[in-house]
Structure 1
């Protein structure tokens, strides 16, 4: 049976003694702490006896410490050993003086942020290499399975992802490429007509679309469409501990989740690039026909004679690399998601930003390479 916290003051000795009784716990304190503080203040220096207290918790010990003078020696309290230890612990915590954090200068804060940024870049680089190594092992294993045990490959997942990530993107890729080709045609016709060389707008459209814009537009659209989708899907599975459950069951997440997405994009981006090429050329041809009055037959013949197939194959050669980068970045960011929604949002955003940045850098590297090869 619980008893309320009470106390009594005995004045028969050398100095008043405060004797606590009952349960000095959070649920039974009542107004006893306030009355105790008034009694101690009125009677001056006191002795404290808590040996008859039935139960004492941190709330009761805190109330007693706050009621006593700040210079009161808690070791002089008459108490059972366990009560004395609790009282000493609470008293030490109450009398700790807060330490104001030292103010650091702006330069020091800048160097700290710079150092953390460099360290984070190093960690990201190491994690990327680990992801790449694991992915290469899984791809090599799948290549072996292709000839030894094709049933081990998840064909259903590959075809489903190829349709969702690739074929379903054909309309948006075609429309965007059409307008890009039309814009290039308008700019070429407007600028070249000032020099009487408007007929060369055909070559400008052909080289720009076949060599650069077809793969760039396709890769950027898939970076925003597929990389974010892959990161969100794998991140949601990571949050729900589905990936951990797969590992417990002996299923490699790279083989079950990453490889199908990697193969799906690897197979569909060349097709989407070809669609973007046709659509971009068609948009440029329409503009040349309407603005410069050069017919489709003339446009196509000039493309075949003066542009050729080299620029087409230069653009198509970038497609597998872009596919690998987009799929790899999206899957890696998804697997790095933590246990909260904020982490999921950050990783999805990072997947899109990193993929677009990688696309631009890779395209610049290809441009330098083909310039050195004179292609």
Structure 2
């Protein structure tokens, strides 16, 4: 029995018939190449080549690829080459490795103005898609909350407590420290600017109103978006990559109830608490700087602060906090669920989560500012 690859040729007029035999496999690659080269040389001067594969004992991917390449090389020389007698399994392999040409992409002339307008259009469409997905996801979360409210046994209290610890308790040191430093900076700059007009005592009004209405909730929300929002996206995204979310569905559990609701509720509860602590830290920093740089004693600072602010000033910041927490939680969870199966996708979605959350926090703050100004609150 012949085992080495072999190609015997017969010429009849302008037609050559090549009978192939043996094992055309990778283990005999040098012989396969040699026989293919001999077939090309024997075909010189002919017009048609018939390649008979009926006596091939074994054919693998390499052998099929060499044969198909040989046929195309014969065709490039102007010869018509055909395979005959191939067994069904060999025919399938030859079809799979068949050479396929790729047409060159047509060169399209681009206009910078058109490309710029196209980018703007894509950004607008992407924004609209994000808004639609966010609205749909908000509906899923609300539906999940309703199901949990109707059946309290489905609520996972330990998960909520764990997320509260991660979001609120462990976030207290960094948020209070940053708020304290920002309060010090605002008071220092206020004193230096107001002393030109002999209005240093008004720095108390500046710090009190600015911190309680805007700065505390903004700083806290941005820090939570960068700290907890990114963590939510990374956690949910990692579970998506490892197919743990699919496993939850297979077990009959709703990922929204198991993963999303405890995180969103933890943010809604924890962010107002952190906002309050941020306000106190910023006011303490402002009072300390006012005492050191402006000569305003703590007693005078507190007395003037009570006259400068009202309960509405304090409540404005706290009212914003739950809404900002909801926005951060929804964006972080939605971006986590959008993660694909690669580390690159995970990094991209975490970055997108932080950027979108900070942008939406500032946008929501602006909308609340216009609302409160309209109702004179």
Q: Which TM-score applies when normalising by structure 1?
A: 0.89
What are the equivalent positions in structure 2 for 1:219-230 lying under 5 Å apart?
219-230=221-232
> Distance in 2 between the 1:128 and 1:215 partners?
23
- Residues 274 and 102 (structure 1 numbering): CA distance in 2 closer, same or farther, change over 3 Å? same
- Residues 89 and 258 (structure 1 numbering): CA distance in 2 closer, same or farther, change over 3 Å? closer
Task: Tell me whether 1:103 sits opposite 2:107 in the alignment.
Answer: yes
Task: Tell me whether 1:244 sits opposite 2:250 in the alignment.
Answer: no
CA contact (8 A) 1:40 1:67 kept: no
Tell me the C-alpha RMSD between the 2 structures: 2.7
CA positional deviation for 1:61: 2.8
CA contact (8 A) 2:49 2:80 kept: no
CA positional deviation for 1:262: 1.1
> Distance in 2 between the 1:213 and 1:2 partners?
87
Offset from partner CA, 1:229-272 (integer Å, 9 cap, x none): 11111111111111111111111111111111111111111111
Task: Tell me whether 1:37 sits opposite 2:40 in the alignment.
Answer: yes
> Distance in 2 between the 1:51 and 1:232 partners?
56
CA contact (8 A) 1:17 1:47 kept: yes
> Distance in 2 between the 1:286 and 1:121 partners?
44
- Residues 342 and 51 (structure 1 numbering): CA distance in 2 closer, same or farther, change over 3 Å? closer
CA positional deviation for 1:99: 2.3
> Distance in 2 between the 1:276 and 1:187 partners?
19
CA positional deviation for 1:83: 9.8
> Distance in 2 between the 1:254 and 1:269 partners?
21
Q: Which TM-score applies when normalising by structure 2?
A: 0.88
CA positional deviation for 1:327: 1.3
Q: Please, which runs of 5 or more residues in structure 2 have no aligned partner?
A: none
Pick one of 188, 204, 207 that aligns with 1:205.
207
> Distance in 1 between the 2:89 and 2:249 partners?
50
Q: Please, which runs of 5 or more residues in structure 1 have no aligned partner?
A: none
> Distance in 2 between the 1:90 and 1:239 partners?
32
What are the equivalent positions in structure 2 for 1:7-46 lying under 5 Å apart?
7-10=7-10, 13-15=12-14, 17-23=16-22, 25-27=24-26, 28=28, 29-41=32-44, 44-45=46-47
CA contact (8 A) 1:329 1:355 kept: yes
Q: How many residues align?
A: 366
- Residues 246 and 16 (structure 1 numbering): CA distance in 2 closer, same or farther, change over 3 Å? closer
| Residue aligned with 1:166, SS | helix
